[in-house]
């Protein structure tokens, strides 16, 4: 059985290392999904955890500069102002009215600082009977709304 001892030892070492890698510092990698309502009820906890907050991007609220993008997330009556300061460009699906998930931390200033934003288009054709053609898209020219 001695040779199986060697195998067992190696297997334990490998699996042990992986478990250690998977669990050590996992708190740093965790993000909590919250709605805006839940976020408001979190109190001081809101400032200590990494959060992922979902909502609709309020139309017309997107303001872009070179380094940051500011926008309002809306969910029912609740609003949350968000500053995105991550390094990656925002996804193409991020635009007025799209559903977005902002990933980051709540600041003491009441603004949510996102380091990552995911977005998807609000579903469009919910079988609108005899639907009119969508209004012709306005090319967002050199205005800040881009």
**Residues binding other proteins (CB under 8 A):** 3-4, 6-7, 10-11, 14-15, 17-18, 21-22, 26, 28-33, 52, 64-67, 87-89, 91-93, 95, 101, 118-121, 124-125, 127-131, 133-134, 136-137, 139-144, 146
Beta carbon nearer to other proteins, 110 or 137: 137
Beta carbon nearer to other proteins, 109 or 125: 125
Structure tokens at 24: 């050590």
Distance CA 68, CA 83 (A): 7
Beta carbon nearer to other proteins, 110 or 126: 126
User: Please, what is the minimum distance in Å from the beta carbon of residue 21 to other proteins?
Assistant: 5
* CA-based nearest residue to 60, from 95, 8, 99: 95
Beta carbon nearer to other proteins, 110 or 128: 128
User: Please, what is the minimum distance in Å from the beta carbon of residue 100 to other proteins?
Assistant: 11
Supply the DSSP string of 68-103, one letter for each residue.
-EEEEEEETTEEEEEEE--SSPPPTT-STT-EEEEE
Task: Tell me which residue has tokens 């965790």.
Answer: 30
User: Please, what is the minimum distance in Å from the beta carbon of residue 58 to other proteins?
Assistant: 17
Beta carbon nearer to other proteins, 90 or 110: 90
User: Please, what is the minimum distance in Å from the beta carbon of residue 43 to other proteins?
Assistant: 15
Residues 6+ apart with CB under 8 A from 125: 131
Distance CA 106, CA 3 (A): 55
């Amino acid at each position: 059985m001695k040779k199986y001892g060697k195998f067992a030892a190696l297997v334990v070492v490998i699996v042990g290392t992986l478990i250690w890698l998977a669990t050590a510092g996992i708190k740093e990698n965790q993000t909590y999904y919250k709605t805006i309502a839940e976020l408001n009820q979190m109190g001081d906890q809101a400032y200590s955890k990494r959060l992922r907050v979902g909502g609709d991007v309020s139309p017309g609220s997107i303001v872009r500069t070179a380094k940051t993008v500011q926008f309002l997330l809306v969910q029912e009556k609740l609003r949350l102002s968000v500053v995105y300061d991550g390094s990656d460009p925002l996804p193409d699906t991020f635009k007025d009215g799209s559903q977005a998930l902002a990933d980051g931390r709540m600041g003491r200033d009441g603004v949510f600082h996102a380091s990552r934003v995911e977005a998807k288009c609000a579903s469009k054709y919910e079988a609108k009977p005899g639907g009119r053609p969508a209004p012709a898209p306005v090319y967002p020219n050199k205005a800040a709304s881009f």
